[in-house]
Amino acid sequence: MSWSKLKQNLESFLAPALQGKVEYRATSYRYAPDKSGNCYITVDKKNILNMKDTTTAIRWYQTEQEIKNNPNIDVPLTAEDIEAVRQGNNSNIPEDRLQVIARNRKLTECAKDILSAQAALSKSNFDTVANRFLARPIDESLDSPDIMLNILALIDRRVGKKRLQNMSDTVKLKHPAVQYFYELRRRSF
């Protein structure tokens, strides 16, 4: 779906009190394929949530290196983890090296989860998440661990005042960006 059509669909689901206040914006570069652009959500013309492709890979790598180099992080390894490494490599690898490879794989997954929790999204990821949001029920988006789905659902017109009030305890456990949009929507009533 093109950006203009996606933006139109998302804005049609905005709560009436937030229309004109919350906007979805994107920039892209037509003749530079390596520069995929930015995507951001603004509130009263102020950039609130920025999704930029160029820094995501760098931040992910830095987070991964910080996690891998931290000796205090203890990752439990199972026999299945080591067996998966053994099956993936047909050579004779010593047992202690298999454990190191399995630990590094688990730490890489941990880094990906941390970065996702920090809302380090990209424009291409936003397009995917927005299309998923438009195709699924609002309850699934509210209960999802995905930060962007939570935000899109909170500012949706299908979420009423009573449902917002019932969510007050669960929102406290969510990412600060989700909490910000929850408060924005709650104040709009």
Query: What's the pLDDT tens digit per position in 136-173?
Result: 999 999 998 888 899 999 999 999 999 999 998 888 88
Per-residue model confidence (pLDDT) at position 119: 47
Per-residue model confidence (pLDDT) at position 118: 56
- The answer for residues whose C-beta is within 8 angstroms of residue 19's C-beta and 6 or more apart is 11
Per-residue model confidence (pLDDT) at position 138: 94
Per-residue model confidence (pLDDT) at position 186: 93
- The answer for residues whose C-beta is within 8 angstroms of residue 84's C-beta and 6 or more apart is 102
Per-residue model confidence (pLDDT) at position 157: 94
Per-residue model confidence (pLDDT) at position 150: 92
- The answer for residues whose C-beta is within 8 angstroms of residue 176's C-beta and 6 or more apart is none
Q: Give the Cα-Cα-Cα angle 169, 172, 173 (nearest 5 degrees).
A: 105
Domain ranges of the chain: 55-117
In order along its 189 residues, the chain shows pLDDT tens digits of 888 899 999 999 999 999 999 999 887 766 655 556 678 889 999 988 877 655 555 566 676 777 778 777 777 888 898 888 888 776 678 888 888 888 888 888 877 766 665 544 566 678 888 999 999 999 999 998 888 899 999 999 999 999 999 998 888 888 788 889 999 999 988
- As a whole number, the mean pLDDT across the chain is 82
Helices assigned H by DSSP within 69-175: 79-88, 95-117, 123-135, 138-143, 147-154, 161-166, 168-171
